[in-house]
Structures are given as structure tokens and as C-alpha cells.
Amino acid sequence: NAGVTQTPKFQVLKTGQSMTLQCAQDMNHEYMSWYRQDPGMGLRLIHYSVGAGITDQGEVPNGYNVSRSTTEDFPLRLLSAAPSQTSVYFCASSYSSGQGQETQYFGPGTRLLVL
């Protein structure tokens, strides 16, 4: 199993450009999440999905869109990039138990720089 894969590894954007960060998992997990990680801030949840066709907002959703058309894929779209979106982005997947998400499996991350 490849686990959770993310592309690209690095990206530089200009302010106002749009792009899509790709995330895929091959573990048949129901839950998928997007986090951003900034120095001193820890991991903050952007959007998450509890299954195909179902998405919801996390702590910092503004400026980002997601969709979940298949169990495997969960792309994150930046609509109009801003310097404040410079960060490292992690995608994660997990199976669910009766109490919500269990162990999260993280991808390697995408480093994004917005100029």
C-alpha cells in the first residue's frame, strides 16, 4: 500500500493564482482531512470529509474548497492564493469507530509559498 500520497511536494504561487493540492489514499478509509501547519501554531484543520459526497469545514476553511467524489481522493483547492496561505499542507486519512476518527495516517505534505 502507498498509504496517503500528496502532490505536488513544493509549489510557488503568485497572489491571486489558483491551484489544487492533490491527496489520495489506498486504505479505503472513510475519513479524510486537510490540515495546515504553521510555526508555533500546530496542525489546524481546514476541511474534512466523513465519506464520498460529504464534506465539512474545520477551524480555518476560508479561501479553500474541497470535494470528495470518490473514497480515495480528496483535493484541496485554493481559489485565489494569498500570502497568508503560505504554509505546509498535510492530508490525512483515518477509519472511523463508534467514537469518531481513530488513528490518522498523514501524507508527506505540500510546501506552498505564495508571493
Q: Which residues bind other proteins (CB under 8 A)?
A: 4, 33, 35, 40-45, 48, 50, 56, 58, 90, 92, 96, 99-109
Name the residue nearer to other proteins (CB basis): 2 or 42.
42
Name the residue nearer to other proteins (CB basis): 16 or 38.
38
Q: Smallest gap, in angstroms, from Cβ of residue 91 to other proteins?
A: 9
Q: Smallest gap, in angstroms, from Cβ of residue 42 to other proteins?
A: 4
* Grid cell at residue 56: 465539512
CB atoms within 10 A of CB 66: 23
What are the beta bridge partners of residue 35? 45, 90
Determine the 3-state secondary structure of 85 from DSSP: helix
Q: Smallest gap, in angstroms, from Cβ of residue 2 to other proteins?
A: 13
What are the beta bridge partners of residue 4? 25
Report how far residue 53's alpha carbon sits from residue 41's, in angstroms, rounded to the nearest whole number: 30
Name the residue nearer to other proteins (CB basis): 19 or 50.
50
